[in-house]
Amino acid sequence: ISVDSAAGQAVKAADRAHVFHSWSAQALIDPLAVAGAEGSYFWDYEGNRFLDFSSQLVNTNIGHQHPKVVAAIQEQAGKLCTFAPAFAVDVRSEAARLIAERTPGDLDKIFFTNGGAEANENAIRMARLHTGRQKVMSTYRSYHGATANAIALTGDPRRWANETGVSGIVHFWGPYAYRSQFHAENEAQECERALAHLEATIAFEGPQTVAAIILETVVGTAGILIPPAGYLAGVREICDRFGIVLILDEVMAGFGRTGAWFAADHWEVVPDLLTFAKGVNSGYVPLGGVAISGAIAETFAERPFPGGLTYSGHPLACASAVATINAMAEEGIVEHARHLGETVIGPGLRELADRHPSIGEVRGLGVFWALELVKDRATREPLTPYNAAGPAAAPMAELAAACKRRGLWPFVNMNRLHVVPPCNSSGAEVKEGLAILDEVLALADAHTV
């Protein structure tokens, strides 16, 4: 890695002068100037290298600069950079085929978008038109994107500043055994009671008014919450009984993250619509989409679908998806992610929990894990309060800063440290990151009772 402080300062100065950043108070941020990235690492202009335990926004599932994907984008750029969605384009057709072959059940038609929020917007549009109903139900502790409907569906604090009174969205509690809303004492009780709660909510909303239920198959940013056995099958059954469309949001969980092509595969549940983005091409070019069941596709066989995007199925994005999916298949990356979870990350994090009283719970699968940090294991009081800011959030901010000083880029949300490296990280890379976590967790332990 070369050092070029002057270049880094110029990049930073132009950023501070002209780039308006997501989710931030513009005057209070200090973005790191990135000089380059490869595989599981990136580096700055000062010669600091970071092991990326965040996969950026949990999207670089095949790591940075995968040579096969870079080459595919370059080749496509030389052939055909862009073309309108109304045409049949070779890489678009091929990307749709490769995705449809992997999605569960009869989700065989693909509507392409630029990212996850637009995928959810269009899934909701399809569900409303297919059912002729308006309401959509989603869980607290969820994230579905930052466009109007997607943020209204979101069940974390990012929704609050965005509520415009968009009607027709109803929130309910999903299962989360560690902090049960249902006073459940085990996973089976949590499952049964969460399903009863959902069914009661539907009854009081009026089943004939509910178009769709949208769930993250495994909840991502809001906690890495793995559904208990039977929950998704139970939701599927409720949807079937009331004619409600089941949308699974696999924007974060899909394409290898959980050690399966789709998280739904773990529970053999088939939704009516499945949304994806992120891992479909590791974000090398913006891409998302909706995989559509036969019945919903049929609704729009003779009747126009009233939605579209200039860049739906963009050739550069589709070429990168084709190369990504092929590379993942050729290199066994999905199986590798499962293996990493079972043999390195899971056991490694449980070992950390043996040594660090601040770890309240370890949960995850594949390369999708969370350490839930607490002040007190007995009461489960979180290390920082829900949605803490400023001094109240300091213990987690200190932890993140300590990781960065040691060359580890963490993913921190509220009182949780997520361990979400690329799916093709090596065992040695993961162990390097876990060793750093072992050192910094002493800071969290100091806040325990």
Q: Which residues bind ligand PLP (CB under 6 A)?
A: 57, 115-117, 120, 143-145, 216, 220-221, 249, 251-252, 277, 288
What angle (nearest 5°) sits at the alpha carbon of residue 349, between those of residues 347 and 355?
110
Nearer Cβ to ligand PLP, position 45 or 172? 172
Question: Can you tell me the distance from the alpha carbon of 313 to that of 285, in angstroms, rounded to the nearest whole number?
Answer: 11
User: Which runs of E-coded beta strand occur in 25-154?
Assistant: 34-38, 41-44, 49-52, 109-113, 135-139
Rounded to a whole number of angstroms, the minimum distance from the CB of residue 264 to ligand PLP is 13
Rounded to a whole number of angstroms, the minimum distance from the CB of residue 150 to ligand PLP is 7
Nearer Cβ to ligand PLP, position 175 or 348? 175
AA letter at 448: T
Closest CA to 89 of 287, 284, 318, 322: 318
With the C-alpha atoms ordered 247, 252, 253, 255, is the resulting torsion angle positive or negative? positive
What residues have CB less than 8 Å from 83, skipping those under 6 apart?
89, 315
Q: Classify burial at 27, counting beta carbons within 10 Å of its beta carbon; exposed 0-12, middle 13-18, buried 19 or more.
A: exposed
Rounded to a whole number of angstroms, the minimum distance from the CB of residue 249 to ligand PLP is 5
Rounded to a whole number of angstroms, the minimum distance from the CB of residue 123 to ligand PLP is 11
Rounded to a whole number of angstroms, the minimum distance from the CB of residue 417 to ligand PLP is 17
Rounded to a whole number of angstroms, the minimum distance from the CB of residue 148 to ligand PLP is 12
Nearer Cβ to ligand PLP, position 366 or 395? 366
* Distance in angstroms between the alpha carbons of the first and the last residue of the chain: 43
Nearer Cβ to ligand PLP, position 223 or 395? 223
Rounded to a whole number of angstroms, the minimum distance from the CB of residue 285 to ligand PLP is 12
Kind of pairing, strands 273-276 and 245-249? parallel
365 close to 266: Cβ distance less than 8 angstroms = yes
Nearer Cβ to ligand PLP, position 145 or 155? 145
Rounded to a whole number of angstroms, the minimum distance from the CB of residue 310 to ligand PLP is 17
* Closest residue to ligand PLP in the complex (CB): 116
Question: Can you tell me the distance from the alpha carbon of 23 to that of 259, in angstroms, rounded to the nearest whole number?
Answer: 30
Nearer Cβ to ligand PLP, position 76 or 139? 139
Nearer Cβ to ligand PLP, position 184 or 287? 287
Nearer Cβ to ligand PLP, position 115 or 346? 115
With the C-alpha atoms ordered 138, 289, 299, 100, is the resulting torsion angle positive or negative? negative
Q: Tokens for 421, please give them.
A: 């490296």
174 close to 218: Cβ distance less than 8 angstroms = no
